[in-house]
């Protein structure tokens, strides 16, 4: 699992993502539900939301199972 800061991720260009293998990378970012419960949101490298899960460990495992490289954006 690779970790990059949110600032760094936002500054990456579409060309940068292509160099990383945009079709093989997904990122996970923390979020908080309206009821105060933490969860994570999973996005494709192009920003498309793929889903959400209760914890990052489950999200990372699911992404790896699908052949994607998870990246944590915090």
- By C-alpha distance, which of 64, 66, 73 is closest to 28? 73
**pLDDT per residue over 2-54, tens digit each?**
566 666 666 766 566 566 556 788 889 999 999 999 999 998 877 889 999 99
Q: CA-to-CA distance for 22 and 3, rounded, in angstroms?
A: 16
Domain range summary for the chain, segments of one domain joined by +: 2-41+50-73
What is the spatial distance between Cα 71 and Cα 46, in angstroms, rounded to a whole number?
13
CA dist., res. 61 & res. 65, Å (int): 6
- pLDDT computed for residue 3 by the predictor: 61
Q: What is the pLDDT of residue 48?
A: 85
């Amino acid at each position: 699992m690779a970790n990059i800061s949110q600032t760094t991720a936002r500054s990456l260009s579409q060309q940068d993502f292509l160099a990383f293998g945009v079709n093989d990378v997904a990122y996970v970012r923390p979020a908080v539900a309206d009821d105060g419960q933490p969860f994570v949101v999973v996005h494709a490298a192009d920003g498309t939301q793929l889903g959400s899960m209760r914890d990052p460990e489950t999200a990372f495992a699911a992404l790896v199972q699908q052949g994607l490289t998870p990246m944590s954006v915090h």
